[in-house]
Amino acid sequence: MTKRIILATLIAVFTIVFIIGCGEDTTSSIEPPSSLQLTGATNETDLVLTWSPSPTEDIDGYRIYLGTTLLADEEDLTPTTTTWTHIAPTTVGEYKVVAVRDDEESPAATASTEPYEDTGELYDFDTPSDQGYSGWGWNWTTGVGAFYSFSTDNASEIDMYYDSDNTLTSADYYSEDFPNTTGFIVLTNTYDNVGNVPTEGYANSAPVGEGQVYAIVIMKDHTDEWHYAKLRIDSYSASPYDRITFTYAYQTVKNFSLLD
């Protein structure tokens, strides 16, 4: 009886080990490309993708997806390809670049054109600083915005301010002590249907109006790189001080004008 129990136990253990050993291995044997970067092309409507190649030497090439949509495959993207341009994309989203061998795909290198979206508030320039701030600036890389007291101590952070003439105004228009330039265009589009914002024709200020939508271009310290944004005034109140609230979407891909 003891021998039968031992034998049955060994058979059961062997069976479990065999099943586990024969289980499907879902780990890709292809190393992925890396360091996927997105930037706007010279026309600011096309999107340029660049990446570092997969270390796997015997791949057939690469595939590029926008979400789940295949944009290009190994017939055009050879093993030595490390850049590709998406001509005039019409939607934002996550791009994926994978290496391919036969029909096996590596894990993906990813990057997104989805803008950073948030809300903010500003008080006009004449409001006492202990009541509210008139300066606003965006983080160049992440698009996170914040309000600032309008002073030279914050000059490098401020991109625009809510002026006492009821306009949004570029920081550098106030004084050369403020290095950042912001341009404005009043749009007729609804906030959720902006698409590509204009790439020229920006003014250094724009009148504030509740419900108004703006295209915005931001240049830090007068560089030759810039970021686009869209902004909608959600509310305006005049008591006890002029105050606006707004929603914005900041395109974190530099020199790229598509916002939705």
Cis-peptide, bond into residue 55, ω within 30° of zero = no
- The answer to whether residues 79 and 152 belong to one domain is no
Q: State the burial class of residue 67 (Cβ atoms within 10 Å of its Cβ: 0-12, 13-18, 19+).
A: exposed
- The answer to whether residues 120 and 214 belong to one domain is yes
Quick one: tokens of 39? 């930037």
- The answer to whether residues 191 and 176 belong to one domain is yes
Q: Are 90 and 195 in contact (CB under 8 A)?
A: yes
Q: How far apart are CA 185 and CA 206, in angstroms?
A: 7
Domain count, the chain: 2
CATH number, domain at 98? 2.60.40.10
Q: How far apart are CA 130 and CA 149, in angstroms?
A: 9
* 198-255 per-position pLDDT tens digit: 999 999 999 999 999 999 999 998 788 999 999 999 999 999 999 999 999 999 999 9
Say if 55 falls within a structural domain: yes
| Residues spanned by the domain of 80 | 34-112
- The answer to whether residues 169 and 195 belong to one domain is yes
- The answer to whether residues 121 and 162 belong to one domain is yes
- The answer to whether residues 126 and 148 belong to one domain is yes
Say if 139 falls within a structural domain: yes
Say if 7 falls within a structural domain: no
State the pLDDT at residue 223.
Answer: 80
Residue ranges for the chain with pLDDT beneath 70: 1-27
- The answer to whether residues 128 and 169 belong to one domain is yes
**Considering Cα of 81, then 83, then 84, then 89, what sign does the dihedral take?**
positive
- The answer to whether residues 100 and 122 belong to one domain is no
Name the strands in the sheet holding 167-170, side by side, starting at the edge strand that comes first in the sequence: 145-148, 135-138, 160-162, 167-170, 205-207
